Amino acid sequence: MEVGTKCDFCGKEEYLPFECRYCGGKFCAEHRLPEAHNCEGIKNSDYWNVPVKVKRKPRVRIPVREERHKPVKPKVKLNSIAAYGYNNIFLGIITLMFFIGIIFRHQAFYLFALFPDRFLLMPWQLITSIFFHMDFGHYLVNAIVLLFFGGELERRVGGKNYLKIFLLSGLAGNIGYLAFALLSGSSNGALGASGAIYGVMGTLAIIAPEIRVLFFFFIPMSIRMALLIFAAYDLFMLPLSSVTGVAHAAHLAGLVVGLYYGEKLKILRKRWPY
């Protein structure tokens, strides 16, 4: 008797193993018969010529549970917001709020634009003003830029990173406008996605400097050069914001956030190039 002998076929621990007289192997009770362990020693023997009714079994293998080898399919929620693309969602919100502004002009401007003297009472203005436009030209230009460059940035950095860049750049733009308004004593309302768009462009300028744009839609140049020109113009016009009616401080603040995230993502890419 052998103690703790493993079956040569399935590896099962067997305290009373059976020894095959054809191949000499040690097997458990389940695989003791030559046909049960695919015995190689019976090929040149007369085993199958014995006058006993033995039905030869086909070669068998240890059964394996199929579900262990089935690829696990990720569960995708079709109704998930991210499935539609954050940039497309933002474009939809901007378009919806533009039409709301047309229908409820004065009420919408009062509720959704950002006012330095009332945002503490209406804190949602820090978010709603990012997506709110009333002038068609302002809406159209921002929508076109966001359509092309927002989609490109989301494709390159992923939905979650794009969401952070867009919203934080927009918030930074609003905070920058509030700071400038408080310093200059202005109480004018501000609205538009320009701060967030500057953040998108700033990130692209760092991680994808090879992108070329049409400056004012007809002059080709690199995205970095175009952004440098816009930033210089906003910086020069900053003291005249109350005259021009443009929130140049919001543009510059959003750009700073975009450049920061661009450098951050660039460093991560160098560390994990794959």
SS (H, E, C) 146-205: HHHHHHHHHHHHCHHHHHHHHHHHHHHHHHHHHHHHHHHCCCCCECCCHHHHHHHHHHHH
* CA–CA gap between residue 72 and residue 192 (Å, rounded): 44
The answer as to whether 75 is a domain residue is: no
Higher-pLDDT residue of 243, 235? 235
One domain for residues 22 and 152: no
The answer as to whether 74 is a domain residue is: no
Percent of the chain with pLDDT over 70: 81
Confidence category of residue 236, pLDDT binned at 50, 70, 90: very high
Lowest average pLDDT, out of 102-116, 167-181, 203-217, goes to 203-217
Task: Residue 179: give its domain's CATH number.
Answer: 1.20.1540.10
pTM here is 0.69
One domain for residues 180 and 96: yes
Contact 177, 247 (CB under 8 A): yes
What pLDDT does residue 192 have? 95
pLDDT digits 0-9 by tens, 94-135: 999 999 999 999 999 999 999 999 989 999 999 999 999 999
On the question of pLDDT at 54 being above 50, the answer is: no
What pLDDT does residue 243 have? 85
Residue with tokens 């047309």: 102
Least Cα distance to 177 among 227, 245, 111 occurs for 245
One domain for residues 25 and 141: no
Domain span at 17: 5-68
Task: Residue 44: give its domain's CATH number.
Answer: 4.10.1110
The answer as to whether 164 is a domain residue is: yes
The answer as to whether 79 is a domain residue is: no
The answer as to whether 14 is a domain residue is: yes
- Written as one letter, the residue type at 261 is Y
One domain for residues 63 and 101: no
- Written as one letter, the residue type at 131 is F
Higher-pLDDT residue of 11, 261? 261
One domain for residues 110 and 46: no
One domain for residues 159 and 209: yes
5 φψ region: left (φ > 0), alpha (ψ -120 to 50), beta (else): beta
Residue with tokens 């991210």: 82
Higher-pLDDT residue of 245, 139? 139
What pLDDT does residue 262 have? 94
* CA–CA gap between residue 213 and residue 149 (Å, rounded): 10
What pLDDT does residue 67 have? 47
What pLDDT does residue 244 have? 86
The answer as to whether 236 is a domain residue is: yes
Residue 13's SS3 state is: strand
Q: Residues of 183-195 as b/e, b for ≥16 C-beta within 10 angstroms?
A: eeebebbbbbbbb
One domain for residues 165 and 199: yes
What pLDDT does residue 7 have? 83
* CA–CA gap between residue 78 and residue 26 (Å, rounded): 56
Contact 254, 173 (CB under 8 A): yes
Q: Which two tokens stand for residue 227?
A: 């952004």
Least Cα distance to 169 among 230, 209, 139, 126 occurs for 126
What pLDDT does residue 9 have? 81
Query: How many residues are recorded in the chain?
Result: 274
One domain for residues 142 and 243: yes
Contact 104, 56 (CB under 8 A): no
Residue after which a domain boundary falls, among 68, 101, 116: 68
The answer as to whether 238 is a domain residue is: yes
**How many domains does the chain divide into?**
2
One domain for residues 135 and 237: yes
The answer as to whether 76 is a domain residue is: no
Lowest average pLDDT, out of 76-85, 202-211, 217-226, goes to 76-85
Least Cα distance to 38 among 22, 60, 62, 11 occurs for 60
Contact 122, 198 (CB under 8 A): no
On the question of pLDDT at 195 being above 50, the answer is: yes
Residue after which a domain boundary falls, among 13, 42, 68: 68
One domain for residues 32 and 122: no
* CA–CA gap between residue 112 and residue 118 (Å, rounded): 11
Higher-pLDDT residue of 198, 70? 198
Mean pLDDT of 205-220: 88
Higher-pLDDT residue of 44, 274? 44
Q: How far is CA 216 from the centre of its chain?
A: 31
Lowest average pLDDT, out of 36-45, 200-209, 211-220, goes to 36-45
One domain for residues 142 and 196: yes
Average pLDDT, rounded, for the chain: 84
On the question of pLDDT at 170 being above 90, the answer is: yes
Confidence category of residue 217, pLDDT binned at 50, 70, 90: confident
Lowest average pLDDT, out of 68-72, 120-124, 167-171, goes to 68-72
